[in-house]
Chains A and B, each alone.
Chain A
Amino acid sequence: MKTAKQENAPTRPNELLGPEMSPELLNQRVGDEARVRARAWWWWLALFATAGGVFMMFTAITWVLAKGVGIWGLQIPVAWGFAIINFVWWIGIGHAGTFISAILLLLQQDWRNSINRFTEAMTLFAVACAGLFPLLHLGRPQYFYYLIPYPNEMGLWPQFRSPLVWDFFAVSTYGTVSLIFWYLGLVPDLATMRDRTKPGLRKKIYAFFSLGWLGRDQQWKDYRALYFMLAGLATPLVISVHSIVGLDFAVSIVPGWHSTVFPPYFVAGAIFSGFAMVATLVIPIRKLFKLEGMITTRHLDNIGKVMLATGMMVGFGYVSEVFFEWYSGDAFEMQTLMDRLTGYYAPVFWTVIFCNVISIQALWWRGIRTNPWLLWILAGVANIGMWMERYLIVVTSLGHDYLTSSWQDFNATGWDWALYLGTLCFFFFLVVLFVRLIPMVSMHEIREILHERAERGKEAS
């Protein structure tokens, strides 16, 4: 028979942190060793490979600025194309970061403490990639500031009824608040790094960014107040951002878009794709940096569960979309539906169903959720599925609108792909730099958990 003591023993397989974890090992793995490990050949390989992609991205940007958006596969009626697909996809990926750092903090899910730093960084990088697309899609990006309501000599103001203006406010707020949240979460860890680094330029840089943090209790008190306040602000923010992105579609009168299901369906899809990206990043990094003691199978298990739950919500979104298109009784809505099921884009539709609905059913099994490489493959499949879902929504609806004479099928060009894959490389490039330069696990939060575990151990004995 198991006693209460045995159940509390740190060797429990479902433990938050590995039994070998101690404050010393934490400092070593996250603080010092990560810097050494990141000098290995694979780090340089990853850096140069992704830097090549970044070069491709800048080439694609330069060319689109020189020639105009005509080099993309855009036409009338499909005027949105890759730019909006990628924008929606990237913003969605960012959402899991905020979900983990803010919503799970408020829900007191301690397991978030091992992965929140990663995912907040992921949010920032994803928002940076996302912001690029609407900007370039403007055609004349130098006039982007027309979206800001400022008094000008033309006496013109933005149209506040337009979701595109809401989008501008939502995305810029989201980027700013994510940056503040991530950076302030870092401050105590930067202070630790400052105190662990030998005098020199690196120490000066850490000292500058740690703002002279001491860890006085007075500071912790206000810091905690700030952190919870920001989490409370980021929670409604993250829901609103993708809802507004959903409204970009739902407010317009286009077959397949004009539906109230869009905002919640977009938010669920965002968290689904974001968690898939978290798994994609975390699984190799925990292996390479030997962080298994901090990112345990329990974390993988939870990531799998969230993917399953949000994936099922997305599946429900697909079903209700199909239902409402049929229920509307509108010939054009039905046409769009049949296009997706059997038309030119049918392969995309069925791939989406396979990636986002069928394949994730494997996550019902604990053995699959806790197997890092199987979870990694499923996450990759979900990433592809979510991108194709955005493709399906944007392209099929626009291509076959209410004016039959203007119908056209969409085909992407090489420049579309160059820019998309370029931002993907840019994202991974930033992640590669991040793991080397910044403590990638929140050290002060892990110390707190270790301390609580030690206290519990004392009480039990």
Chain B
Amino acid sequence: MSKPYGILALFNTAQEIYHAAESVRDAGYKRWDCITPFPIHGMNEAMGLKRSLVGAFTLVGGLTGFTTGMTIAWFAGEFNYPLIVQGKPFFSFVFPFPVAYELTILLSAFGTLIGMFLTNRLPRHHHPVMDYSNFHRLTDDKFAVVIETDDPLYDEAKTKRFLEELHPAEVVVLENKEEVKA
């Protein structure tokens, strides 16, 4: 039997979870998260989260796309197979612009997608929170705070008491079940 995954406190309203998140942040916990059915305005500040890194991936994708578009047109026209068409130059930045523009957008979108998957560690097969008996309400109308056992401040009795003081609907210790091997 491995140690539990963490302790979950269930809340009924967005208001409550917002204040609970502030308390958990102020208590100094580091490895914890809120689970909500929709993004709550101001939650990132209440939890003390940093800005998302996804934009950086978008930028890298976009730059790659633009460079690729221009390079292909230059390589084809100026280098690999120079062909005089209507006496126009073999390469200019103007005519392949639509191609580079579309590739910028395409690879930015791929970059954003990859960025979101990496920062969120998606897709994933299973998560200990999914074993919680009321988990199906968390994508519907309930809200939860989960403090993980890996947190340096974690202490089963103390953390449990701390969460109970926030007046949740219930407090549950989440087991860390081994994944069932088919």
Contacts and interface: CB of A to CB of B under 8 A. Distances in A.
Contacts of B43: 217, 220
B72 interface: yes
B113 A180 contact: yes
Interface stretch (A37-45, A149-157, A395-403): A149-157
Interface residues of A, number: 60
A240 interface: yes
Most buried by A among B98, B101, B108: B98
B129 to A, nearest CB: 6
A156 B81 contact: yes
Contact of A173 (B38, B55, B103): B103
Interface string B103-117: 101101100110110
Interface stretch (A74-82, A221-229, A302-310, A405-413): A221-229
A54 interface: no
A218 B34 CA distance: 8
B138 interface: yes
Interface stretch (A130-138, A158-166, A293-301, A361-369): A158-166
Interface string B65-104: 0000100110011001100010010000001101101110
A174 to B, nearest CB: 8
Please report whether the interface of chain B is mostly helix, strand, loop or mixed according to DSSP: helix
Contacts of A161: 85, 88, 95
Please report whether the interface of chain A is mostly helix, strand, loop or mixed according to DSSP: helix
Contacts of A202: none
Given A27-B140, A217-B21, A219-B122, 15 more contacts: A160-B95, A173-B106, A188-B139, A192-B139, A195-B138, A212-B125, A212-B127, A217-B35, A225-B52, A225-B55, A229-B108, A230-B112, A240-B105, A247-B98, A451-B40
6 contacts: A161-B88, A184-B113, A212-B123, A218-B49, A222-B52, A222-B54
Interface of A: 23-24, 27, 149, 155-161, 163, 165-166, 169-170, 172-173, 176-177, 180-181, 184, 188, 191-192, 194-196, 211-226, 229-230, 233, 236-237, 240, 244, 247, 444-445, 447-448, 451-452, 455
Interface of B: 14-15, 21, 33-41, 43-44, 47, 49, 52-55, 58, 69, 72-73, 76-77, 80-81, 85, 88, 95-96, 98-99, 101-103, 105-106, 108-109, 112-113, 115-116, 119-120, 122-127, 129-130, 135-141
